[in-house]
Amino acid sequence: SKEAIASLDQAIQIKPDWHEAWQSRGWVLLYRLRRFSKAIISFDKALEIRSDNHYAWYDHGWALAHLGRYEEAIESYDQAIQIKPDWHEVWYSRGLALNSLGQYEEGIVSCEKAIELKPNEHLYWHNKGVVLNHLGRFSEALVFLDKAIEINPNNNLAWGDRGLVLFNLKQYEEALVSYDKAIEINPNNNLVWGKRGVVLFHLEQYEEAIVSCNKTIENNPNNNSAWLNRGSALDKEVLQDLIRTLLALEAIDQAQEFQRRGTDVLHNLLKNTKSPAKKKQLALKFAPFQQLTVDLAVQSGDAVQALELAEAGKNACLSLLLAGRNNEFSSPTWEQIKQLLNPTTAIVYWHISPAALHTFILKHDYPLPIVLGQTKLTEKNQFLPQIQRLRDFETWVKEWNQDYRQYRQKKNKPEDNHWWDNLCKMLKRLAKILDIPAIVNILQTSPICIQNLILIPHRDLHRFPLHALFNRDENGQNFTISYLPSAQFSLKPTVDEEPASQQLLSVEVPTSKNLPPLSFVAFEAEAITQLFEAPERIQEGEATKERVEAALENRPLAKIFLTPPQPSPYQGEGVVSPLYQGGTKGGNSNFYKRSNKHQIFHFAGHGSYNFAEPLNSELALVDEELTLREIYKKNLATYQLVSLSACETAITGNQTITTEYVGLVSGFLSREVSQVVSTLWTVKSAATALVMIEFYRRWQAGKSEVQALAEATDWLKNRTVKKLSEWYQAFLKQLPPEKESIRPFIKHELRKLAKLEPNKKRYEHPYYWAAFIITGKI
């Protein structure tokens, strides 16, 4: 081959414009020497001389595809197709490139064209079957794989993929037959041996399952990548299934061996990947695989290592999703995490992997993390409790997603919806799945009463009101509960002590494009801003992206509007007294003195979570959106508190989070904001305004942020219709004349209350109060 290159170089030296020589040179570099970058240079030269050479365009695309440059490869294939549209091979290769980009629907179109042009080519039928499997269209996939096998019965890969489709259809006996046929053709197909072991596990043939799994190592004892021979996401999924199966069978040594080998492959892949974007994609793709290290540590009895691995995995995913690299946030040790504990403060820390859902309980009086329900299998045909807990949780999440999606799609009142009706039952089921009573029992064994609880969820658990699962027994213990994205977020040093004054930035956006109006925003904002010295208010039409960003970053604009403080209108039953009258805790004689920087950002408007691209999660303004990507670039270290009173962090489809949840809250906290008050769903009611008003009033009276929110939501939950009416009436009596604009809203609320039974607790349903959470440093 090197001699061929030398001969072609001589020919090109004699005739530099000979496009066939350049093309032949590229062909040798591509197919014989596999020097893809140099091959592209030769094809570029051939196409520069003659641009209608469809063979050169095809080979150009093939070389680009080998380098992972699939978008460019598709462009080259399109050029070849334009010249020769009836060339089946280029259509097939185009489909492969689209599949590599995850564009399966488009990939199917190209594959169908290849089949149309050459219907007797088994590879084309096989490829379409694989793509249909990716799309979850298993029955259709089986038809195409059967056709591929009919054309070529000796295609062991087709037999293996047929087994996978049958496994997905839960036809385990038939799947086993296909895997056995694939192994008969190629006994060294390690991927199929692993899949076969997983099927045998589901058939409860446990000893044979372990034997089959071990074959993958026996066939290639020194080759870490042999059983990842196709390097696809599918192989990674099979590895996860293998380790999950071996964990359930307590074959810890074998599971650890697979984990070690898979980790080595991942490190090599990352080492050989130059593009930062592709490194990020690869690391996130393998995140669920890495989560299994936590399960292995738990099964090995090392709770400290398990917790440290869980924390490291969380911080790595948060770094990748927020910053695009995995070293943005360092990860603490167990000794460092213990700094968050004291005799009255404990942590409940969850971790979800593809195999299990583990709960760690961290207490000041206990030297090691406690793993909930840590037991060994007593019988080989039973799952570990954590594995069954994961299955129950996944089923629960699917039901929640379906109900919540339907609720979001309907325009009627929340009360007239299945999700609303089921909310109490669903939360009760979740408490049972997570075994909250057992967690509370462990917490109550401490010699000193635990009062403060920090919840650190993982993956989908971030989306649900876990705090509402505690304190359910009125005769039991009450906890004051806050959240953290990871332990590291509370260990990060605080920039400054609490400022002497508290400068409020209030952004009020009651209406946004394509979103329902928030009728309570004006009432909420008027009430809250009067609790602060000269707050900066950006209202309705003023809330442009330019204006909000400048204020958020404390950058001056030509025109600044300050609202002077007003006498507080809140007196009467159920209020914190004495009321705040001046802008700082304890009062301040410098009534109109304005600090240079804001310490509080209150956003009364819509916000949303973007599952597909978390950095596109956004706050809705009047003209544009302020995205998490943009928030992450800002220095917000001066902010003690951010309130997002109507932001939705829920998922509105059937997706599940496999890496870690990253939304607006974690974005603000990553920019050194101390605490964030937010909502898990938008509470379409005056209840939002009531909670936020009561929260700020209690905080201004000297309560901590966590205590203030706990008291405010408890106040809302227990107010009767009569007491709420009295609250509104007291508000109206002391409403300054210049605030007449919010009087109609209050009177409307009073009229609604007048139609209800006086002793009814208007906002007792968890829809109204369970959505509010506080996250951040303790």
- Top pLDDT among 310 and 12 is at 310
What CATH code would you report for 1-84? 1.25.40.10
pLDDT, tens digit (0-9, with 9 covering 90-100), for 15-62: 888 888 888 888 888 888 888 888 999 999 898 888 998 999 999 999
Question: H helices of 324-384, where?
Answer: 334-337
Q: What pLDDT does residue 521 have?
A: 83
Q: What is the pLDDT, as a whole number, of residue 649?
A: 63
Q: Residue 384: which of 244, 260, 287, 257 has the closest Cα?
A: 244
Nearest to 375 by CA among 261, 308, 298, 488: 298
pLDDT for 692 equals 94
Q: Domain ranges in the chain?
A: 1-84, 85-187, 191-272, 321-490, 503-567+577-726+764-776
Q: Is pLDDT larger for residue 262 or for residue 120?
A: 120
Tokens of 10: 């001589």
762 vs 348, 524, 686, 712, 733, CA distance in Å? 31, 18, 11, 15, 22
Task: Write the secondary structure of 720-737 as one string of H (helix), E (strand) and C (coil).
Answer: EHHHHHHHHHHHHHCCCH
Closest CA relative to residue 423, chosen from 464, 385, 472: 464
More confident residue, 279 or 399: 399
Q: Do domains 1-84 and 85-187 have the same CATH topology?
A: yes
**pLDDT of 68 strictly over 70:** yes
Instruction: Name the nearest CA neighbour of 201 among 162, 246, 163, 170.
Output: 246
Report pLDDT for 583. Answer: 39
CATH class, 503-567+577-726+764-776 region: alpha beta
More confident residue, 259 or 113: 113
**pLDDT for position 568:** 42
Minimal CA–CA distance to 372: which of 352, 386, 355? 386
At 588, is the pLDDT very low, low, confident or very high (cuts 50, 70, 90)? very low
Q: Per residue in 521-548, pLDDT tens?
A: 888 888 898 888 888 888 878 888 888 8
| Residue the block writes with tokens 């990939």 | 107
CATH classification for the domain delimited by 85-187, as one of 3.40.50.1980, 1.25.40.10, 3.40.50.300, 1.10.10.10: 1.25.40.10
Q: Give the Cα separation of 394 and 135 in Å (integer).
A: 20
| Candidate from 41-55, 348-362, 540-554, 746-760 with smallest mean pLDDT | 540-554
Q: Model confidence over 412-454: pLDDT tens digits?
A: 566 667 788 899 999 999 999 999 999 999 998 888 889 999 9
Tokens of 337: 């995490």
What pLDDT is stored for residue 763 in this prediction?
A: 94
More confident residue, 165 or 623: 165
Q: What is the pLDDT of residue 445?
A: 87
User: How does DSSP classify residue 565?
Assistant: P
